[in-house]
Amino acid sequence: MEKSEIKSFTLAQLKHLMGTPESEHINDEYLVGHGEATLEIFRYPFRIDAFMIGICTGGEAVISTNLSRYKLEENTLFVIGPNNIIQQHEQQRLSSYIIALSRAFIQRIHIDLKKMMPLLLRIAEQPVLRITDEQSRMLGQYIVSIEAELRKPATLFTQEIVGGLISVALYKIGDLLHQHFDRPEETPGIKDRADEYFKRFMLLLGEHYKEQRAVGFYARELCITPKYLTTVIKRVSGRSASEWIDSYVILEAKTLLKYSDMSIQEIAYYLNFPNQSFFGSYFKRNAGLSPSRYKAQ
């Protein structure tokens, strides 16, 4: 049997699972829609290689991403970046507008990434935000406009029109994020520098946690000492760099143990442990029980 890791979806697969109507205009690089769902398809952890943006208009649900749980309810905005592990925890109905975009699509529609990326990095730390009724209606109207364009017969400029409307929606969301995050800091110099190290550390961690668990590796990549990195990360997040590393590794290990058909030995090698015994000791130290006991629960 072929061994599977955490389930990953393409946008085409996600479109099919969500029951999005077929359209001659829709390609594999974006998904736009709205409606009510139980999010049943998200009850197991999964990844999608795309940015997912949602505006909740009714109902509620609890999801986890970036190692934390968040409540989605009326007038909340969520933005989830590519390859984050996402899971829905409570079977409740949720009404929402959704835009899912591949990185290639975002680059092709010429979004100003110099302005947008800092905002996307900030929301990665706080992926669910409260918004007002007016903001929710405004963003919803943009998505309805995109859907209306997709329902029309294709013309010479349909893709350009759709791309333009999506660009406007993204800039409106960016404007909203800028208003939320762009507030004066009490100690701008030191705090801004610490925040920047934290963002860069989290980006590196997301890329390398399967292979690198040493704080020294991340410190070298950031051109600072391990001691300084530990101090900065603790100051900004309340958790040390090693705690963040362990949390990422343990989350991946738990998910693989529960939802993949990989053996414990295969998981150990996948996460770059020298052997199953070393992985077992690490897992028990951080999770409080052995991998086999956790898998059997």
Average pLDDT, the chain: 82
Going by pLDDT thresholds of 50, 70 and 90, the confidence category of residue 267 is very high
Question: If one looks up domain 188-296 in CATH, what number appears?
Answer: 1.10.10.60
Instruction: Give the 3-state secondary structure of the chain.
Output: CCCCCCEEECHHHHHHHCCCCCCCCCCCCEEEEEEEECCHHHCCCEEECCEEEEEEEEEEEEEEECCEEEEEECCEEEEECCCCCEEECCCCCEEEEEEEECHHHHHHCCCCHHHHHHHHHHHHHCCEEECCHHHHHHHHHHHHHHHHHHHCCCCCCHHHHHHHHHHHHHHHHHHHHHHHHCCCCCCHHHHHHHHHHHHHHHHHHHHHCCCCCCHHHHHHHHCCCHHHHHHHHHHHHCCCHHHHHHHHHHHHHHHHHHHCCCCHHHHHHHCCCCCHHHHHHHHHHHHCCCHHHHHHC
Q: Give residue for tokens 């052995």.
A: 290
Domains of the chain: which residue ranges? 7-181, 188-296
Instruction: Tell me the C-alpha distance between 246 and 257, whole Å.
Output: 16
Note the pLDDT tens digit of each residue in 274-287. 999 999 999 999 98
> What is the model's pLDDT at position 21?
56
What is the mean predicted confidence (pLDDT) over 221-247?
90
In the chain, % of residues over pLDDT 70: 83
What is the mean predicted confidence (pLDDT) over 37-65?
80
7-181 classified as CATH 3.40.50.300: no
CA distances from 13 to 7, 18, 27, 41, 47 (A): 11, 9, 11, 11, 12
What is the mean predicted confidence (pLDDT) over 203-222?
90
Q: Give residue for tokens 């059997």.
A: 296
CA distances from 287 to 111, 249, 284, 292 (A): 42, 11, 5, 12
> What is the model's pLDDT at position 81?
80
> What is the model's pLDDT at position 1?
34
> What is the model's pLDDT at position 24?
44
